[in-house]
């Protein structure tokens, strides 16, 4: 007699396969594993609006649940989840007709007479990311905050891997340039 693995010890892909076959408990386990991090993704991408981020997180899981029977065995679950999230963000930003600025000024650090600490650097990075065009900020978030690989991001964004690498490289150069003002302080 085979003893089934506990849900908590199964991979995301195994859980999604079970959810595709009707297991609400498996889907609930996926939700418990990914909801908080996905909400953080939306919070960062949607202007730190926690309520909107929660709505988008729930909407992502509702869409995932509705499409659970379409899950292809062997497909990367996180890539599929973040494809849905990415498309929701993209559509929201398009619907809002947000004006994207290529560059924003970062607050003048020369006026600050306190030691630069981790909090100030984090805030500076957040401001830099807000100043990036949305495609670059989104790629940064997917790679460095959500820890997705370049091939996963290419799949999610429908961009060639080379384009993803190039844009990530350009983004890092912009960040380095903007953070240079904090060197030797």
User: For the chain, which ranges sit under pLDDT 50?
Assistant: 1-3, 98-116
Structural domains of the chain, with CATH = 10-98 (1.10.1740.10), 101-185 (1.10.10.10)
pLDDT at 63: 93
pLDDT at 96: 67
Closest CA to 130 of 40, 55, 46: 46
pLDDT digits 0-9 by tens, 49-74: 889 889 999 999 999 999 888 888 87
Length of the chain: 185
pLDDT digits 0-9 by tens, 34-52: 999 999 888 988 878 889 8
CA distance 157 to 153: 6
pLDDT at 106: 36
């Amino acid at each position: 007699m085979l003893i089934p693995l506990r849900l908590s010890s199964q991979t995301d892909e195994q859980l999604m396969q079970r959810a595709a076959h009707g297991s609400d408990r498996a889907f609930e386990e996926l939700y418990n594993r990914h909801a908080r991090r996905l909400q953080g993704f939306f919070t960062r991408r949607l202007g730190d609006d926690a309520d909107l981020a929660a709505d988008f997180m729930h909407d992502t899981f509702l869409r995932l649940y509705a499409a659970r029977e379409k899950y292809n065995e062997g497909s990367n679950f996180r890539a599929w989840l973040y494809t849905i999230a990415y498309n929701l963000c993209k559509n929201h930003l398009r619907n809002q007709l947000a004006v994207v600025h290529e560059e924003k000024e970062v607050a003048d650090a020369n006026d600050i007479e306190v030691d630069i600490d981790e909090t100030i650097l984090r805030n500076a990075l957040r401001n830099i990311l807000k100043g990036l065009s949305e495609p670059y900020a989104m790629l940064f978030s997917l790679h460095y905050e959500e820890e997705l690989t370049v091939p996963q991001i290419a799949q999610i964004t429908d961009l060639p891997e080379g384009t993803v690498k190039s844009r990530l490289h350009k983004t890092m150069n912009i960040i380095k340039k903007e953070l240079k003002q904090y060197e030797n302080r």
